[in-house]
Structure 1
Amino acid sequence: MNPILPRPFFIADGEAHVMPDGRLYLYGSTDISGKKEYCGHEYHVFSTEDETLTNWTYHGISFKNTKEEPGIYWSKGTPLYAPDAIHKDGKYYLYVCGQDNFEAVAVSDKPYGPFGDAKPVKGADGDSIDPAVFVDDDGQAYYLWGQFNLRGAKLNDDMSTLDMDSLQTAILTEQEHGFHEGACMRKRNGIYYIVYTDISRGKATCLSYAMSDKPLGPYKKGGVIIDNMYCDPQTWNNHGSIEEFKGQWYIFYHRSSQNSFTSRRMCVEKIYFNEDGTINEVEMTSMGAGGPIDAFKEIDASIACRVKGNIYIAPYFDSKEILVNCGGGNWIQDWAEYKYLDFKDGVRRFCIKTKGKGRILVKTNDNLLLAAVDVDSPEFEWFETDAVASAEGVKALWLMFEGREMKVFSFRFE
């Protein structure tokens, strides 16, 4: 279910890697809830062996760069932006970057760290942000980085310096590929893929991909894999990765929250390749990799995969979140979307824990009106009504609002 990590954590810019122990590890930057700037000063690592990507182990802080505990000695206290990690020759390498364009690598004997002895990536340090690392089948490592124009080169055996004779300065460009930032390199069936943040639809909300038969290109744009538009009224960027785990490929991406471009959370969807190696675009869902959500269990309203109008996901208490600012528009402009719910053999009653004053329509993806609820309460309470129709099987659900400043905690069907 999305988001996939425990609610106290706002992990963005996700890089997923299956490491030699067979577990899937997730690396990313760390937003601070409510902070109106990207990223904090710590990295956290999670891992799983669960094929539904539901149960995650938290491994703690893997790297830190505060003024008191500077992991980057030449840039003490600088916020840590998107990282990447790789295993090579028995060591684990964490590639990090920061607000002032430092690029560095730290080392550990374990995939979850702690990572230490950071040193600059010579040839990239001070130039830009967003490192990506890839080790090819022949053992050669490659390093990508940059905004607007993607740079890349072979890594030398020390994993901290670049072979500048191999440097390419325009592997992807904003003009040709819509490249904004956030590269990720993978290889499948002899094809090299770069997944990246794409600004072609107006905002940097898309994760797109490009393909080549050589690691440093040339690359041809394939298309969009996922777009996080409407995850929040203020959403601006996306950044993530693709990875195969137990025979299934996934895309890891983030969604902003709290009516901001930050407070981002990690999400995941299954993806599928065509025979020619191209990837179909997938939609954001509430269910993620775990399959349809049981409509008869209490559903957290904050797992909405898209919101329209002024609605957004806000903190409540004890790391819980709610939908707020619901209403004030009309049925078309104010809605929250949930994909997908399993209604099984049908429903007869709808129950919603909400507050405020107004009306909520409950519809499914075939425009079937399931219920209409009139709300009038200054405090959260359960409102229940008989269903006017019965949905069956797996369907999307929309809560459509008309009223004043309504908030929603959860809902369920009977």
Structure 2
Amino acid sequence: MATFPRPGRRVSGARPAPRFRALLAVLGLALLVLVAPGPARADNPIVQHVYTADPAPLVYNGRVYLYTGHDEDNSTYFTMKDWRVWSSADMVNWTDHGSPLSLSTFSWASANAWAGQVVQRNNKFYWYVPVTARATGRMSIGVAVADSPTGPFRDALGRPLADTNEIDPTVFIDDDGQAYLYWGNPNLWYVKLNPDMISYAGSPAKIPLTTAGFGTRTGDANRPTLYEEGPWVYKRNGLYYLVFAAKCCSEFIAYSTAPGPLGPWTYRGTVMPTQGGSFTNHPGVIDFQGGSYFFYHNGALPGGGGYTRSVAVEKFSYRSDNTIPTITMTTAGAPQIGTLDPFVRQEAETIAYESGIETESTSTGGRDVGFIDNGDWIKVRGAAFGAGARTFTAAVASAAGGGKIEVRLDSTTGQLAGTCTVGGTGGWQNWTTTSCPVTGASGTHDVYLRFTGGSGYLFNVDWWQFTA
């Protein structure tokens, strides 16, 4: 299914009423071009074609897998029905893996697909999420399991793992193999998970929220500490970190440290001040390829706000005493690690930035870039062509008249390296390939695929590849 279902949309090929967000994105891009000539480097937020929230990164097998919530368009509350997965090897070009987990995965859940986290153990991947239980109407923690980081995920228990009517689970596996599950708003709960990761002995217990451990909140007698929600627990250089959304509302990100996974915790201060157009925030922290990265969300996309959020990332360095510096939101995001190889098959849904497109499932089980209109485009950053490319090939499908793919370098109006013609293929999932000669593509460039043609949807793109 497409990200934004439109029943009957493929019958005539006509475009329905344009989405307000997409219109604003085009206007915003135009303004950006006017005030900032040259190649655009603003790749935060890292996903632009859907709203994302509550980032939970996982490093696995040389990639970062990013698990997020999904805010529905035009939400006026935390209206969330599924979770999404993205991955990257270079921190700038992110592959959309779709939604392998939704409320319907849990037969006992009724609403609120809110912030969760995935960990890998026992050659499986466990996704801990808070949802509303249909039978009780209370927020409960469920757990889903998969054999792959991109799913599909299935309900591991057929019932809640824990029920304290609170939210935001995070999970941490210590060096001795003991796994801990934390969650909570307004409290901070924990349990020690059994090795199977889907059960625990005893009962959930509370971590004491002291002002020494979690800072002092003023103006709220019921909540004396800064701890609000969204805990993220990890260990680095023998020190335990608990990063959390602080105060409300608007929230900022703070953190505490401890000599052990259960404390005693010492409040250390602010990680990210209140900013960014969303009154909530949510942390995720990893080390990857020799760097440290802080994930968060804001309301930076057109139409964005407290209920239509977007995930972003910043690279940072710990201070010499292992404290975390203050991190500010940027539009640049993290720098690219290495380069992208344009001479191997690249999925079209691997994107650094885009305008107008959406993604959908393919008939073969993957994903494609679709719902393409005249003037839409996608960008991949840092493609290393070396001595040069000779041809460009893409897998395409169209139930309409097709169009053209312009291969441009470094901007949507940059050097035109090639133009491929896409004809009708008789169906939106009837795939064929189109190729065209390429000139001038040598060295390292950002690649823009700009789509042109008539009115209505033009074609879908599954993958692309250059030849040397």
Instruction: Tell me the distance in 2 between the aligned counterparts of 1:81 and 1:319.
Output: 34
Instruction: Tell me the distance in 2 between the aligned counterparts of 1:35 and 1:145.
Output: 25
Correspondence for 2:51: 10
Correspondence for 2:65: 25
Residues 256, 36 of structure 1: alpha-carbon distance in 2 compared, 3 angstrom cutoff: same
Correspondence for 2:450: none
Which of 314, 325, 331 is the matching residue for 1:280? Answer: 325
Work out the number of aligned pairs and report it: 285
Which of 216, 226, 246 is the matching residue for 2:272? Answer: 226
For 1:42, the aligned partner's letter is: D
Displacement of 1:94: 0.6
Residues 160, 236 of structure 1: alpha-carbon distance in 2 compared, 3 angstrom cutoff: same
| 1:115 is the counterpart of 2:161 | no
C-alpha contact (below 8 Å) 1:2/1:285 kept by paired residues: no
Q: Which moved more, 1:157-166 or 1:255-264?
A: 157-166
Deviations 1:335-382 (A, max 9, x none): xxxxxxxxxxxxxxxxxxxxxxxxxxxxxxxxxxxxxxxxxxxxxxxx
| 1:74 is the counterpart of 2:108 | yes
C-alpha contact (below 8 Å) 2:161/2:198 kept by paired residues: no
Which of 174, 197, 203 is the matching residue for 1:136? Answer: 174
Instruction: Tell me the distance in 2 between the aligned counterparts of 1:39 and 1:148.
Output: 21
| 1:181 is the counterpart of 2:221 | no
What are the within-5 Å matches in structure 2 for residues 14-413 of structure 1? Answer: 14-19=55-60, 21-50=61-90, 53-65=91-103, 70-76=104-110, 78-99=111-132, 100-119=138-157, 124-164=162-202, 167-170=205-208, 175=223, 177-199=225-247, 203-229=249-275, 231-232=276-277, 235-257=278-300, 258=303, 260-290=305-335
Displacement of 1:7: 1.4
Instruction: Tell me the distance in 2 between the aligned counterparts of 1:63 and 1:318.
Output: 32
Displacement of 1:10: 1.0
Instruction: Tell me the distance in 2 between the aligned counterparts of 1:280 and 1:252.
Output: 14
Residues 278, 37 of structure 1: alpha-carbon distance in 2 compared, 3 angstrom cutoff: same
Instruction: Give ranges in structure 1 of 5+ residues lacking alignment.
Output: 292-298, 302-316, 321-414
Displacement of 1:107: 0.5
Give the TM-score normalised by structure 1: 0.64
Displacement of 1:30: 0.6
C-alpha contact (below 8 Å) 1:131/1:183 kept by paired residues: yes
Displacement of 1:47: 0.6
Give the TM-score normalised by structure 2: 0.57
Instruction: Tell me the distance in 1 between the aligned counterparts of 2:153 and 2:80.
Output: 17
Deviations 1:227-262 (A, max 9, x none): 242x22xx3110121111111111100002536311
Displacement of 1:6: 3.3
Displacement of 1:121: 7.6
Deviations 1:51-108 (A, max 9, x none): xx1101111111011xxxx2111123x1200010000111110111124412110100
Instruction: Tell me the distance in 1 between the aligned counterparts of 2:271 and 2:288.
Output: 18
Displacement of 1:219: 0.9
For 2:308, the aligned partner's letter is: S
C-alpha contact (below 8 Å) 2:304/2:310 kept by paired residues: no
Instruction: Tell me the distance in 2 between the aligned counterparts of 1:141 and 1:120.
Output: 21
Residues 318, 271 of structure 1: alpha-carbon distance in 2 compared, 3 angstrom cutoff: farther
Residues 165, 188 of structure 1: alpha-carbon distance in 2 compared, 3 angstrom cutoff: same
Instruction: Tell me the distance in 1 between the aligned counterparts of 2:92 and 2:157.
Output: 35
Residues 211, 10 of structure 1: alpha-carbon distance in 2 compared, 3 angstrom cutoff: same
C-alpha contact (below 8 Å) 1:32/1:39 kept by paired residues: yes
Instruction: Tell me the distance in 2 between the aligned counterparts of 1:276 and 1:27.
Output: 30
Instruction: Give ranges in structure 2 of 5+ residues lacking alignment.
Output: 1-41, 133-137, 218-222, 337-352, 356-372, 377-468
C-alpha contact (below 8 Å) 1:177/1:221 kept by paired residues: no
Structure with bigger RCO (C-alpha 8 Å, 6+ apart): 2
Instruction: Tell me the distance in 2 between the aligned counterparts of 1:101 and 1:149.
Output: 13
Displacement of 1:318: 9.3
Displacement of 1:206: 1.0
Residues 116, 318 of structure 1: alpha-carbon distance in 2 compared, 3 angstrom cutoff: farther
Residues 122, 81 of structure 1: alpha-carbon distance in 2 compared, 3 angstrom cutoff: closer
For 2:115, the aligned partner's letter is: A
Instruction: Tell me the distance in 1 between the aligned counterparts of 2:67 and 2:161.
Output: 24
Deviations 1:267-326 (A, max 9, x none): 1112221222211101111111128xxxxxxx999xxxxxxxxxxxxxxx9999xxxxxx
Residues 88, 245 of structure 1: alpha-carbon distance in 2 compared, 3 angstrom cutoff: same
- Identity within the alignment, %: 32
Displacement of 1:158: 2.5
RMSD: 2.6
- Return the structure number with greater strand share: 1
Instruction: Tell me the distance in 1 between the aligned counterparts of 2:99 and 2:59.
Output: 19
C-alpha contact (below 8 Å) 1:151/1:169 kept by paired residues: yes
Instruction: Tell me the distance in 1 between the aligned counterparts of 2:172 and 2:139.
Output: 20
Residues 206, 109 of structure 1: alpha-carbon distance in 2 compared, 3 angstrom cutoff: same
Residues 260, 23 of structure 1: alpha-carbon distance in 2 compared, 3 angstrom cutoff: closer
